[in-house]
């Protein structure tokens, strides 16, 4: 790297900020469609879409023009004291697609801030700081959102402003609920919830916060219907459900527009971030008016819902709906999932192919065991990069490859990425004993 950007990065950014491929780091200098180019002119097919932040592809004319139109007005006037047309329009659209009746939308700048706000709303409303969270979750990097993050590698602090009780995760490979049939899994999850409520709380719990598919946790998920079954128990005492849709929203899972819809439940509060800005900082909370309006707090977010981010957000959401990208996620996701599942029996190191739509996780283990194999995962990850495919890593044991490409992925690109992935796994599998 000509000007040694990594050394400069290391010299001024915190040492704990992760950088992929530190031996040969990538600086993305341009992008188009699903492809990006690095500082050395190397091209990549981006199967991680930034970090699921690029939802409709790079250099989309409609988004660029919407932002440029907003810039051309001269109005980059960020204030919550005057009306912002773009913000109101986007809130109307999000309320319409949220599936939450009589919805209200509060804009923030990040997923952490959205979840922090949802937790604040729930605890204020219920006059309780008791929260239920799911093991192996990730909800953000503020004090409260880390407090509900059940993943040691991502929890920088155990100083918790909330009182949190932990439910068992939906992991099907390991953990207490692993290996159960779907209906047994749901029954066990309900029993676990009842037991936690009876033994660890006084019953005055504010909310359960859950990702319908755990993102950072390695794209693991409970069987369809689990959150719905849990919600029936929550409803007995008015405990709210917060669905963290930061990774699962906007049709990414193919079958549904929101992750919660796989569970036969409507959450009281829903949080969104990442893809809706397609790179611009845009996030927020959606909830029923009777919940959101009852929060006893007059508050605002200085930059939340600013004209530039919401101009982008309007263009992204229009594009997503006009092109029915949910259907495309289902179609191209099926090419990947079917192809990976068909190849899986050939490999000793690939324990599970999971996910839905364009949210796909691959779990790597030592042959013949359930022992996580982080080094093999890194080898597959590096092989992919060497062959022009960017993917993500994750999971509690760093043994999961994660794919979350832009929802505009074409069928040819899905097949191209599948080929690189399968070859990369085959190369590393051949070395495994």
* Chain residues in the site for ligand PLP (CB under 6 A): 110-112, 115, 138-140, 211, 215-216, 244, 246-247, 273
Copy the structure tokens of residue 332: 């191209």
Alpha carbons within 13 angstroms on the beta-carbon side of residue 296 total 5
**Smallest separation, CB 366 to ligand PLP (Å):** 28
**DSSP structure class, residue 33:** B
**Smallest separation, CB 236 to ligand PLP (Å):** 27
Closest residue (Cβ) to ligand PLP?
111
Q: Of 51, 56, 33, give the one whose Cα is nearest residue 312.
A: 56
**Smallest separation, CB 415 to ligand PLP (Å):** 28
Of 140 and 147, the one with the shorter C-beta distance to ligand PLP is: 140
Copy the structure tokens of residue 285: 């909370």
Of 55 and 216, the one with the shorter C-beta distance to ligand PLP is: 216
Strand partners, 28: 38
* Strands, E assignment, 372-425: 389-390, 392-394, 400-403
Of 57 and 215, the one with the shorter C-beta distance to ligand PLP is: 215
Of 211 and 383, the one with the shorter C-beta distance to ligand PLP is: 211
Q: In 3-state terms, what secondary structure has residue 354?
A: strand
Strand partners, 134: 167
Q: Do the beta carbons of residue 67 and residue 311 sit within 8 Å?
A: yes
**Smallest separation, CB 194 to ligand PLP (Å):** 26
Of 218 and 333, the one with the shorter C-beta distance to ligand PLP is: 218
**Smallest separation, CB 112 to ligand PLP (Å):** 3
Q: In 3-state terms, what secondary structure has residue 147?
A: helix
**Smallest separation, CB 72 to ligand PLP (Å):** 28
Q: Do the beta carbons of residue 283 and residue 113 sit within 8 Å?
A: yes
Strand partners, 33: 58
CB neighbour list of residue 280: distance below 8 Å, 6 or more residues apart: 67, 308, 309, 312, 313
Of 140 and 417, the one with the shorter C-beta distance to ligand PLP is: 140
């Amino acid at each position: 790297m000509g000007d040694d950007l990594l050394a400069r990065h290391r010299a001024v950014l915190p040492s704990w900020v992760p950088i992929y491929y530190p031996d040969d780091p990538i600086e993305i200098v341009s992008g188009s469609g699903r492809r990006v180019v690095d500082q050395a002119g190397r091209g990549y097919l981006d199967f991680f879409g930034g970090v699921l932040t690029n939802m409709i592809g790079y250099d989309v004319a409609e988004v660029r023009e919407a932002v440029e139109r907003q810039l051309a007005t001269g109005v980059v006037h960020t204030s919550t004291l005057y009306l912002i047309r773009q913000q109101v329009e986007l809130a109307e659209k999000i309320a319409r697609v949220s599936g939450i009746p009589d919805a209200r939308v509060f804009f923030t700048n990040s997923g952490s801030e959205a979840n922090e706000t949802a937790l604040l709303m729930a605890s204020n409303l219920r006059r309780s700081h008791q929260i239920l969270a799911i093991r192996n979750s990730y909800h953000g990097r503020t004090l409260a959102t880390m407090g509900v993050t059940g993943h040691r590698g991502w929890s920088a602090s155990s100083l918790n402003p909330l009182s949190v009780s932990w439910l068992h995760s939906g992991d099907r490979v390991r953990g207490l609920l692993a290996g159960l049939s779907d209906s047994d899994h749901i029954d066990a999850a309900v029993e676990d919830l009842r037991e936690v409520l009876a033994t660890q709380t006084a019953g005055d719990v504010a909310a359960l916060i859950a990702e319908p598919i755990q993102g950072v946790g390695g794209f693991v998920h409970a069987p369809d219907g689990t959150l719905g079954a849990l919600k029936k128990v929550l409803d007995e005492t008015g405990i709210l459900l917060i669905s963290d849709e930061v990774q699962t929203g906007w049709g990414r899972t193919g079958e549904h527009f929101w992750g919660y819809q796989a569970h036969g439940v409507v959450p009281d509060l829903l949080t969104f971030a990442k893809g809706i800005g397609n790179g611009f900082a845009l996030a927020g909370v959606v909830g029923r008016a009777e919940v959101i309006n009852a929060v006893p707090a007059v508050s605002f977010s200085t930059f939340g819902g600013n004209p530039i981010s919401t101009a982008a957000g309007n263009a992204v959401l229009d594009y997503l709906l006009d092109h029915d990208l949910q259907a495309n996620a289902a179609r191209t996701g099926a090419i990947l999932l079917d192809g990976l599942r068909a190849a899986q029996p050939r490999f000793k190191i690939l324990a599970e192919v999971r996910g839905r739509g364009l949210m796909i996780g691959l779990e790597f283990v030592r042959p013949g065991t359930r022992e996580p194999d982080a080094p093999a995962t890194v080898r597959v990850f590096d092989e992919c990069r060497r062959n022009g495919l960017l993917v993500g890593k994750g999971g509690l044991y760093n043994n999961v490859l994660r794919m979350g490409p832009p929802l505009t992925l074409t069928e040819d690109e899905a097949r191209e990425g599948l080929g690189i992935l399968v070859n990369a796994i085959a190369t590393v599998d051949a070395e495994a004993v």
